[in-house]
Structure 1
């Protein structure tokens, strides 16, 4: 098992793993922004930071969704709110499923834009009580 990239945070980051172009990816959302790390060498456990967007960049591209994202994340941390205000759920080929408050969105890394998918409550879940699991199919093994 490859250790995850070592990064220092002032708070607990939200994260998920995924795959892009056959490579293992690690997504982190923290006070430093949204980071996409790619495992470059499985044998040396070497990770490379491929993309990093600041919270301000994300807010500028998605003002109706991520208004005051820094403040929301900070207040969520200080209140100890569970679940967190923003939570990456699943990642595949440049697309990130992410929960913001009580809605799920699709974030496109190429455009930095978010598209609302649904309210968590329509899935029959109480986002304050239940963890969110997004079913999707992915394989790191090439077929045929």
Structure 2
């Protein structure tokens, strides 16, 4: 599905919402997310053949592109992404997935526009994110950063 990716640049395929792009368009988005997530599960079934539950563990593709994989998992579960406008101002409350300092690890934050109360909702929202990711074989640990801001560090379970 051609379109615009989360950075606002043209894309040749589907891009999961990371929370750093614009508000995803509604027209066909839900179906595209569903198809992309089913594709991810199919990759898991093909790659994790030695597992008793091949869908319960990230495939190598996901481990090499964890920002995309975690973003897709959250979006497919119905968790809403944050969004920014063309000037980079946050305009929607939701998750933001970005690369962490360590390779193979991503950071999930709950962000929103000033005055949105995102900081107050972060603990519960991040626990929901951790539960979604845990069911899919990701380990999500909650931390507090500067000024007590909560975030998750997420990586594939060993």
TM surpasses 0.5: no
Greater share of helix = 2
Greater share of strand = 1
Q: TM-score, normalised by structure 1?
A: 0.31
Q: TM-score, normalised by structure 2?
A: 0.29
